[in-house]
Structure 1
Amino acid sequence: MTEHNTDRDYPASTIPPGGVEPVPRRVRAVLGGRVVFDTVRALYVWEWPYYPQYYIPRSDVDPDVLVDEQHVQHLKHGTAQRHGLRVGDVERPRSARVFTAEAEKGLEGMVRFDWAALDAWFEEDEEVFVHPRNPYTRVDALRSSRPVRIELDAVVLAESASPVMVFETGLPTRYYLDRTAVNFEHLEPTDTVTACPYKGRTSAYWSVRVGGELHPDLAWAYDFPTRQLLPIAGMVAFYNEKLDVIVDGERLPRPDTHFSR
């Protein structure tokens, strides 16, 4: 249950021609308390249509961290030499690809790291979660006075006249409500934690029990969202793919996304 997925249907306009462009931000990553790379010359490379990956110049990578595994790979963007990472006793085998002279023009000598192999990634001094933020994706959190009611099987789970609406490219509108507007009688906390590159890491998830049936992980909250999404801090949202949302008295159709399944 995550707020990001490569099945998202982004418009074609969110992908630049050629699928490669410079990153205008400083990008860093750490492993075992050591900076693996620190660069202002990273590239966005769209390996999939929905969001980019960072490619890092090898000259900006700590050479003592890379471990050549003597294995050549033929990838979408050309030939690469596979490397592992080692920092003290911490090892991450098969986690970096160093592109050779046979790579696509402009990618020679660039390094592509597996995201999960590193402990933390940063754009400037702010941590980035899950994958790089797509520079062509927009996420807005707007306060509203439109009344919103959340129901499941005719049971009211939450109701508010002061929601925050989150509009994100490729996803249906999410409605965040104050916790005082939520009927927690029907909510049961779970151990689920997810992360989103645009909103940060969740602080809570709840399943919903209605009529004796438990519906897992239907609601979540970000107590400490990213700076851009501060209006949703501490508020609760629900998957409108799996329950009913009534806005201004109108019951909205349930959207069909990868979260529907």
Structure 2
Amino acid sequence: MGLSWQQGPLSSGAIGKFLVPQPLPARMLYVEPLRRRMRVRFEKTWIADSEKVLLLFEPTRYPVAYFLESDIVEGVLEKSGHVTQHTDLGETTWYSVRVGDRVVQRAAWQHTNLPAHAEDLKGRVAFAWRSMDAFFEEDERIVGHAADPYHRIDIRQTSRQLIVKHGETTIAQTSRPQVLYESGFAPRWYVNREDIDLAALKLAENKTFCPYKGVCSYFDIGDVRLAAWSYPETYPEVARIADWISFEANKVDVYLDGAQLHLEPGQQVVPHGPDRELTLEELALDNRKL
């Protein structure tokens, strides 16, 4: 998403290109100050609190937040003895995180033999997102991964004709779809339930999670699994598509103004699991408490 994910400019599947005379390196890492206060909660304790977080953008990965050692509560990090080798950043030392009797192995890491050009990360530690209880920017919980400041979602109403078919059966037909443009992704078309034959859709058990939109539900159409999806309850920022339904163009036939849509590079989304089965209700409760 944003810079380094899906079709972002630093990802391996970038849709655009840099207009430079010489080929760029196959992998480029980018780091910048977050410029927001970020806190980490573990075992009901704030174990890190910083206004000097650095975000690392690495190809095909979500952005990662790195904290100064001085902004981490003393004693919560314990060297695990586990050491790995990062492709670009060298030797990586892993830590357990302990508060009281609770300990999680390999819950944080630090690059301990950095090349000279990457010394911005010297003396900094990153926490494994799902190993912590929660991350916050100011008093609001951030879910999924560190928020990408280059990630953007725009939703536009349109009068274009959208038709969805499964075989010879028309599943949806509308002249009032909404199109969602999201950084690093191809456009997605959403249809009001009033314009859909809902009897043709069967709610599937699958759920995935988007850090920018919320928990996503899926539908089967006939013998086609996960052919459509919807966000029944979205975050307020994308409430316009709440409970609208979008269809997967490589699983059913989707026509826009008479032209059939096909799956584009980067349109196949890599699912992002919730933070330990996080629900929107839990998130709302967390934000009300603070």
Q: So what's the TM-score if we normalise by structure 2?
A: 0.75
Structure 1's 88 and 41: CA in aligned 2 closer, same or farther, altered over 3 A? same
**Cα offset for 1:233?**
1.3
Unaligned 5+ runs, structure 1: none
Q: Match of 1:9, as an amino acid?
A: Q
C-alpha separation in 1, matches of 2:167 and 2:260: 13
Residue number in structure 2 paired with 1:21 = 32
Tell me the SS of whatever aligns to 1:106: helix
1:77 paired residue among 89, 98, 102? 89
190-199 vs 123-132, which deviates more?
123-132
State the Cα deviation string for residues 177-217 of structure 1 (Å, max 9, x = none): 22222222221112212112222222x221111xxxx2222
1:205 paired residue among 213, 218, 221? 218
Unaligned 5+ runs, structure 2: 11-15, 19-27, 271-290
Q: Match of 1:207, as an amino acid?
A: D
Q: How many residues align?
A: 252
Residue number in structure 2 paired with 1:42 = 53
Structure 1's consecutive aligned runs of 4 or more residues displaced over 4 angstroms after TM superposition are 12-15
Structure 1's 91 and 241: CA in aligned 2 closer, same or farther, altered over 3 A? farther
1:65 paired residue among 71, 76, 88? 76
Please give the root-mean-square deviation of Cα atoms over the aligned residues, in Å.
3.0
Q: So what's the TM-score if we normalise by structure 1?
A: 0.82
Say if 2:104 is the partner of 1:95. Answer: no
**Cα offset for 1:234?**
1.7
1:168 paired residue among 157, 171, 182? 182
55-64 vs 124-133, which deviates more?
124-133
Structure 1's 100 and 68: CA in aligned 2 closer, same or farther, altered over 3 A? same
C-alpha separation in 2, matches of 1:254 and 1:49: 19
**Cα offset for 1:129?**
3.1
* Preserved CA contact (<8 Å) 1:7 1:258: no
C-alpha separation in 1, matches of 2:138 and 2:234: 17
